[in-house]
Structure 1
Amino acid sequence: MRKRRVVKIVVWVLAVLVGVPAAGIAALLLWDGGIDTDPRRELTRGVQINLRTVTTRLGPVEYDLYGTEGPVLLSLHGGLGGADQGRLFASWLQEDGFRVLSPSRPGYLGTPLDSGRTHEEQADLLAALLDELGIDRVGVLAVSAGSPVGYTFAARHPDRVWGLVSVGGVSKPQPGGAGSSLRRAFLTTVGQKLTLLTAKVSFETIVSGTLEETSSFTEEQQAERVSYIVNTPHVRTFFEAMFTTTFPYPERWPGTDNDAAQARRGALPLERITTPTLLIHGRQDGDVPFDHGEFAAERIPGARRHWMEHEDHLGFWLSPEASQVQAVARAFLREHAPGD
């Protein structure tokens, strides 16, 4: 998920703040933002995390493991994410007999960047995590900036992966960095507070600003989607939970910055993937363009594809058709999950 929207969203707040007394600005700086950072907090109703850290042979890894029985699904979060985001993004599977393993990738939350910078190092770190937890094989749900690691893991450790689902995944080198100096300025404690203040004053502004970055919707499409998210209780609740999994910025920025640096490197080992693979991508994805889905589909042998015709980067979770698309992914995972 990109960071440009932070600047756009925050412009609204800055306009409000013009003329605010100095005492009001001081109060903003002293405000803690109301962020719940409890490692055992409830993300949304029925979705609770229990973050722990284990020291593997390759370095420390923070993770959440939901469930006690069933095949394990490894959920790899996107940019500005962490184990909490991975857990949330896989929550649609939690009542389907799967265990869900959600690690914070290096540079996110409690996993230090030194545990693995490159895609290869992160893939090997995942294998080391499975070893430490006594888990033999996993299915993989890789999202957005987490997909390059998912692809690399499947290619380097094919004996550890029984199925791979990539949603809106980055699949080829991307030029540029994680953001300009202006954007970086807003990805600070002050920028974070401004964004949180905007959410409290105008939730619709946050939703609209997000869609400007995650979609190539027309104005009419965007207005319809904003209305759907804001006025559909379970979707709004999911969006609000997703929004919280990008804070605090300082604990997620090192990994986000590293993801951008790694995205400028050479080609991913897509042709070497032998794992059953399902690619899901929205044709109106404004964050990771649709051609990333096509690029992966052309190179991963036997890959299945499910293109969301009128969806953006978050349509898998936030669209009116989300449950149908999730059903496709669920059926794929059930088909390839190992038996008892």
Structure 2
Amino acid sequence: MNPLTTLLLDTSKGIVEFTYKGSGPPVLLLKGGHSTRDTDLSHSSLIYEGFSLLTISRPGYDYTELSTGRTPEDFADTIVEVLDHLQLKKVNVISISAAGPTGIALAVHHPERVDRLLLEAALLTSWESDVKKRATVLFGPAEKFVWSSLRTMLRFFPDLVLKQLLADLTTENVEDYLDNLTPNDRRFIVDMLATSQSGKGFITDLDHETPDISAIQVPVLGMYSQKDRSVPYTNALLLKSSVPECEIYEVDSDSHLIWIGKDAHTVWKKRLEFLTKT
């Protein structure tokens, strides 16, 4: 397929946007909150490692309609329609952050379609009430204005914006964290913000409930940081205690952003090892 092509599928429940690139064993990527088709947290490089990468935009993001699945279970059914359309019998699944419940729903309700499940800083528990209230104000009807204003401020007051963002992502001192970023890591965060848009997706994410994770029967790798303020490490402990075949890799990262920093190369290595296990 053309690596630049974004496709729309008219499923039984509405329009779903997806891209399908590369050749080789298929990996389904479910991005986290605020992530759009253009947000890349390093996973596109899987194509150059011999995988095909299927990226499906979740409900409310990009052109995927909310009707395709307001709950993780409903959207898991829609994902199966996309897999059937592409004639993919089984996929490896990567779920990031707020996409955790969706990846788990797919593994629990359609285990025959999932080879293995990789959870990267993935949320398994309910959102805290104060987080939900604040997010509803910021990313409800005003979300386009909020993101537009944030990107404008990022051009003129980058450190101020980054500090505000990182305060929700790290348990470390924010100024120290910012000072220790390499130029490449700083560019990663700026690019992430530049491609972020909540649409109606993040508000929908806030109401998601995670299916019974003890029902997962496929191999699972969870990668989490102890210093993640956004998705506490208790999610990793819950996963380890509930899933029979589960490995937890504690990422030596200073924030939710486990894809950058001193341990980023090991995160990449662990991901590849897990996806290539036989």
TM-score by length of 2: 0.90
- 1:105-124 per-position Cα deviation (integer Å, ceiling 9, x unaligned): 01111001011111110111
Note if contact 1:107-1:256 (Cα within 8 Å) is conserved in structure 2: yes
- Partner secondary structure for residue 329 of structure 1: helix
1:293-323 deviation digits (Å, cap 9, x = unpaired):
1111111112011012453211x21212111
Q: Check if 1:225 corresponds to 2:177.
A: yes
Query: Residue type matched to 2:195 in 1?
Result: T
RMSD between aligned alpha carbons?
A: 2.2
* Partner SS state of residue 311, structure 1: coil
Residue type of the alignment partner of 2:54: L
Out of 24, 48, 65, the residue aligned to residue 20 of structure 2 is 65
The answer for the alignment partner of 2:35 in structure 1 is 81
* CA distance in 1 between partners of 2:93 and 2:111 (Å): 12
> Is the Cα contact below 8 Å between 1:58 and 1:128 reproduced in 2?
no
Shift of 1:241: 2.2
Tell me what 1:188 maps to: 143
Q: Which consecutive residues of structure 2, in runs of 5 or more, have no partner in the other structure?
A: none
Partner of 1:299: 242
1:133-152 matches, cutoff 5 A? 133-152=86-105
Distance apart, 1:165 and its partner CA: 0.7
For residue 17 of structure 1, what is the aligned residue in structure 2? none
Paired residues, what number?
275
Q: 1:276 and 2:210 equivalent?
A: no
Q: 1:70 to 1:147 in 2, by over 3 A?
A: same
Task: Answer 1 or 2: which has greater helix percent.
Answer: 1
Of residues 260, 266, 274, the one that matches 2:206 is: 260
8 Å Cα contact 2:151-2:193 kept in structure 1: no
Please point out which of 222, 232, 253 is paired with 1:289. 232
The 1:175–1:226 alpha-carbon spacing in structure 2 relative to 1, beyond 3 Å, is closer
> 1:172/1:242 Cα in 2 relative to 1: closer, same or farther (>3 Å)?
same
Q: Distance in 1 between matches of 2:253 and 2:147?
A: 31
1:198 maps to 2:119: no
> 1:25 corresponds to which residue?
none
Q: Secondary structure at the match of 1:155?
A: helix
Aligned to 2:164: 209
Distance 2:245 2:97 in 1: 21
2:276 maps to 1:334: yes
- For the residue of structure 2 that corresponds to 1:262, the secondary structure is coil
Q: CA deviation at 1:268?
A: 1.8
Higher Cα Rg, which structure: 1
Amino acid at match of 1:296: L
Partner letter of residue 245 of structure 1? Answer: T
Alpha carbons of structure 1 residues 186 and 158: separation in structure 2 relative to 1, 3 Å: closer
Structure 1 segments unaligned to the other structure (5+ residues): 1-39, 41-47
What is the rounded CA distance, in whole Å, between the counterparts of 1:206 and 1:318 in structure 2?
Answer: 18
Query: How much does 1:182 deviate?
Result: 4.5
Answering whether residue 251 of structure 2 is matched by residue 308 of structure 1, we say yes
Q: Which amino acid aligns with 1:201?
A: F
Tell whether the 8 Å contact from 2:41 to 2:259 is kept in structure 1 after alignment: no
Q: 1:178 aligns with which of 92, 113, 132?
A: 132
Q: Say which of 54, 66, 70 aligns to 1:113.
A: 66
Separation of aligned partners in 2, 1:56 and 1:185: 26
Residues 179, 66 of structure 1: alpha-carbon distance in 2 compared, 3 angstrom cutoff: farther
Asked if the contact 1:172/1:268 (under 8 Å) is kept, the reply is no
Task: Give the Cα–Cα distance (whole angstroms) in 1 for the partners of residues 69 and 235 of structure 2.
Answer: 24
- 1:330/1:224 CA distance change after superposition, 3 Å: farther
Change (3 A) 1:166 1:65: same
- Output the CA distance in 1 between the equivalents of 2:19 and 2:41: 11
Partner Cα distance (1:319, 1:92) in 2: 17
Distance 1:204 1:92, change over 3 A: farther
- Any idea what SS the aligned residue of 2:38 has? helix
Map 1:129-168; keep pairs closer than 5 Å: 129-168=82-121
Greater Cα offset, 95-104 or 170-179: 170-179
Give the direction of change, closer, same or farther, for the CA distance of 1:276–1:185 in structure 2 (3 Å limit).
closer
Does the aligned pair in 1 maintain the 2:170–2:254 contact within 8 Å? yes
Q: Distance in 2 between matches of 1:186 and 1:105?
A: 19
Does structure 2 conserve the Cα–Cα contact (< 8 Å) formed by 1:186 and 1:192?
Answer: no
Does residue 95 of the first structure (1) align with residue 48 of the second (2)?
Answer: yes
